[in-house]
Amino acid sequence: MTVFKSNWINLSIRLYDMTKIFLPLPQSQDHNSKKEEMSKKAPLKIFSCTKSVDLTKRICDSLGVDVGKSSCPVFSDGEFEPCYEETIRGSHVFIIQSTPPPADNLMELLLMIDAAKRASAYKTIAVIPYFGYARQDRKDKPRVSIGAKLIADLLSAAGADRIITMDLHADQIQGFFNFPVDHLYASSMFIPFIGKMGLENLVVASPDVGGTKRANTYAKMLGTDMVICHKTRAKANVIDSMTVIGDVKGKNVIIVDDLIDTAGTISKAADLMMEKGAISVRAFAAHGVLSGPAYEKIENSALTEVYFTDSIQGKKESPKIKYIPIAKAMGEAIERVYKNQSISSLYYG
């Protein structure tokens, strides 16, 4: 009986020791402070993918840092293999790449994120000035994908810890991610610029019903009225009909949107507003995708000027198209994320 009791006591002691191994220990204040100190010591490194080389250089110039060394060898069949040409172990790695079609732009970004994770980066942040596939944010008809959600899942699976982006097609896309999203707004640059233009009898217009929230924000900040263009589509990129809700007679109209693709909507809206008696029509959009006949439509339309940010590099020059740089705003957002500071003052939310 005594031997049995002794063995039972020994077994109990061993089981107790095992629980100390497997049960999580409470995180001490000292442990948390060490973790915060480690975050501060982690160096800042910024890299570019091939689509955003010029923008990355301007961002790095605004921060006073060098662009990180990387390469992207391409095989004969078109396959590519991004590679870091310097150590990034323990670093805050920011990878800059807009993701318009073709899909190679997105694939390169995913491979760069994966490479950073496998190279023991402390944090990997994807800076995506233009977030491609954002228009696929819901099932608007049967048997279609929700592309924006799929892209969010791919970025997470690749190993991204956070993304910084600008003017998503729909704000709710932020909810597709299971990690922080810093959503910047081009209005922080457009509104001061519009104010300095000195236009009288100004009115802000939304090119469709879906953009009324954005247009309302601009109208409030500029202290103007708002009008809406109501359109129906025959199919993607093809407008069936359009009407203007509101008075534009004798007004200088500013149309605001998140992106311009084929420029069909914006050109038709401008022509219609001029027919309704507008003095001039200008357009401001965060992203100039400008595919297909976009340049020709803008040139042949009643638009006086069209302004974009340089989130996407222009394919060619046009006397009507002008770009407002975002390097300083993006650079400040990167710096504040790196220093764990608020970035809400960078945009009008």
Q: What is the pLDDT of residue 2?
A: 52
Residues near 125 by beta carbon (within 8 Å), at least 6 away in sequence: 92, 93, 94, 95, 160, 161, 162, 163, 164, 334, 337
Question: Of these residues, 51, 231, 251, 297, which one is catalytic?
Answer: 231
Sign of CA dihedral 120, 31, 179, 312: negative
CA-based R_g, the chain, Å:
26
Region of 278 (left: φ > 0; alpha: ψ -120 to 50; beta: rest) is beta
Active site residue 231: yes
Residue 132 DSSP code: T
Give the tokens for residue 239: 């407008």
- Buried b / exposed e along 289-319 (16+ C-beta atoms within 10 A): bbeeebbebbeebbbeebbbbbbbeeeeeee
Nearest to 286 by CA among 256, 328, 313, 251: 256
* Average pLDDT of adjacent 10-residue blocks, the chain of 349 residues: 53 53 53 53 94 96 97 94 96 97 95 98 98 93 94 97 96 94 95 94 92 93 93 61 88 96 93 95 97 95 97 93 96 95 71
| CA separation for the pair 190, 274 (Å, rounded) | 23
Q: Tell me which H or E stretch contains 228.
A: strand 225-235
| CA separation for the pair 99, 243 (Å, rounded) | 33
Give the tokens for residue 102: 């073709």
What pTM does this model have? Answer: 0.85
